[in-house]
A and B are shown apart, each in its own frame.
Chain A
Amino acid sequence: NAGVMQNPRHLVRRRGQEARLRCSPMKGHSHVYWYRQLPEEGLKFMVYLQKENIIDESGMPKERFSAEFPKEGPSILRIQQVVRGDSAAYFCASSPIGKGDLHFGNGTRLTVT
């Protein structure tokens, strides 16, 4: 039973490029959460999605960031026109129900050069 799968594991982008981070939740999980971890910091909530719906995006920057969780396929976190401050580890977590325990992926480390 595969866990939460995130890819790529590492992503390098130049300033101004777009970054697309993918997350496949555990089988049977329909709730996905994205978190960002800056160096020497804990994880900070960004967005909570269910299939085809954004439930809570209160932690997402208003510009350049977007997320989706389509009916078919993985959840995508998209960062447009990346800047150096976007360099961080981005984690995805899933749960079978909204109040279930979260299962985390191994994260994607984004480096903006």
Chain B
Amino acid sequence: AQTVTQSQPEMSVQEAETVTLSCTYDTSESDYYLFWYKQPPSRQMILVIRQEAYKQQNATENRFSVNFQKAAKSFSLKISDSQLGDAAMYFCAYRSAGNYGGSQGNLIFGKGTKLSVKP
């Protein structure tokens, strides 16, 4: 079974600085997707960035980028020029892209990292 591990329960960053959130995962599959979701206090789950495992190029979305290391099964999120609105829980998630069996679309989440941004 696939697992997702986020080893940093809490992180803190100064406004305008850069922070990296760690995520590792375990799978025997070769084809899958990885995601970072943001959950502010409003509880809404917001998709921040996605990465297809078959793509070697790291995904970027404005100030958000990932460092995807497939062999190491590592998928970290870098937030540049941190803003106060970035404060939230961040969840790393895995989804199989393979056999489209009964579990297709099922996301497996890590426990999350709580990010604080200091003004």
Contact = CB atoms under 8 A, between A and B. Distances in A.
13 contacts: A33-B105, A35-B107, A40-B111, A42-B91, A42-B93, A42-B111, A42-B112, A48-B104, A48-B105, A55-B102, A59-B106, A101-B47, A102-B107
A106 B44 contact: yes
Contacts of A44: 109
Interface string A44-85: 110010000001101100000000000000000000000000
B110 A42 contact: yes
B100 interface: yes
Contacts of B103: 48, 56, 58
Contacts of B84: none
From A58, A100, A101, A109, name the one whose CB has the most chain B CB atoms within 10 angstroms.
A101
Interface residues of A, number: 27
Given A48-B103, A104-B45, A107-B45, 8 more contacts: A42-B93, A42-B112, A43-B91, A44-B109, A99-B97, A99-B104, A104-B44, A106-B44
Contacts of B104: 48, 98-99
Interface string B94-119: 00010010111111111110000000
Contact of B100 (A33, A58, A99): A99
Nearest to B106: A45
Nearest to A54: B102
Nearest to A109: B43
A35 B21 CA distance: 23
Nearest to B102: A56
Interface in A3-47: 31, 33, 35, 40-45
